[in-house]
Structure 1
Amino acid sequence: MKKLTGLNKNEVTDISRQVADAFYDYKYNEADQGLIKYIKSLDDMFIYMNAITQAAYNSGLLYTTSDNREGYLMLSGEGFGRVKFFDGIKMIMAEKKALGGFSAMKSFIKACFSEGSTIELRMKKAKRKFIRVEMLVVRPEFQGQGYMRQLLEDVYRIADERGVSVILDTDDKDKAGRYMHLGMNLDRVRECGDRFHMYDLIRA
């Protein structure tokens, strides 16, 4: 795992396009629509993911597998920090645009919290320290070659050194299954509406 530094804005934008393509092209389990239920075009997915990727990079939270950049990882929490304030504002504004306006964003947020708190908020309430996987994506041409495992094992090693848990959530049953195969445990499933679920996972 390698921290990305020294990039210009165009280089980060190129990474954002790779991330957006990977998310938009994903084939969801029949029980789930995930983000595609709310973000209906590739252009909108790019707007959404570009804001996240730019914020991650500007805040020092963006990592990759190697110099070949087979995959990308955004981490926050214990020892990593969080998104800077103004980048967070930019993320919110981009999310609103990608989702189709304030009303649509409100519906999205309401759906995500419809069954109570996220695993991150519950961990904070319990005063438990953690590393949060905010985003993990392997570029399509490198999938099935062990890069997801590599990134997660790097996170696990750091978490073990710091004596903290690893948490994440995902919007698809099959994605959750892959994370569980690679060492995460299912904490709960949030029923967020018709064919929209959030799967909270933890490695304690």
Structure 2
Amino acid sequence: MVNAEFVDALASDAAVPGGGGGAAYAGALAAALGAMVGNIMVGKPKFADVADDMRASVVELDAARARLLELIDEDAEAFSRLAATWKLSRATGEEKAARHAAEQAALVGACEVPLDIMGECARIIEVADFLAKNCSKLVLSDVGASAILAKAALRAAALNVHINTNLMDDAVQAAAFNERCENLLGEPCAAAQKIYDEVAWALHGA
């Protein structure tokens, strides 16, 4: 049942997959955990009044999971395009300029993919908030795990944004990417931590 292929590839000395792919994979796990909770709750008579919302949550989480799995490959492709520019010749001034221009263009994609990962993880956290308020205590730990995994994935993806914006010549574009990144870190991360803390209190303190 365990698919070790991606994890083994991540552990190898290959440049891809890397941190962005790892973040997307963690986010996909967070979405899967949330979907599991939703699927369990749909069949519970005690929670029949939120069954439709539960189904909608599962649909949203399934979409996020599918997208994050796509983003694993997209992140590898974006990094590969960037890395390819570093292998271009710098023998002449003209070649050096062309290489630098190619690098700067590739950095855009290398920022956009982790930002997409962050956006999906923010969606997962939003759904986790609903699940935490409308689920059985028997699956509450899974909701907390989903939220904290999504937060970790968010923060991991943010590092991939920042390492690339640091290489950008265009300060305006770099600042725009960094602002999007900070916005995605702010409220979603705080919400995820709140969910986790409340779940932990409910399990330990109630």
Q: Answer yes or no: same fold by TM over 0.5.
A: no
TM-score normalised according to structure 1 size: 0.30
Instruction: Name whichever structure is richer in strand by fraction.
Output: 1
TM-score, normalising length: structure 2: 0.30
Give 1 or 2 for the bigger CA radius of gyration.
2
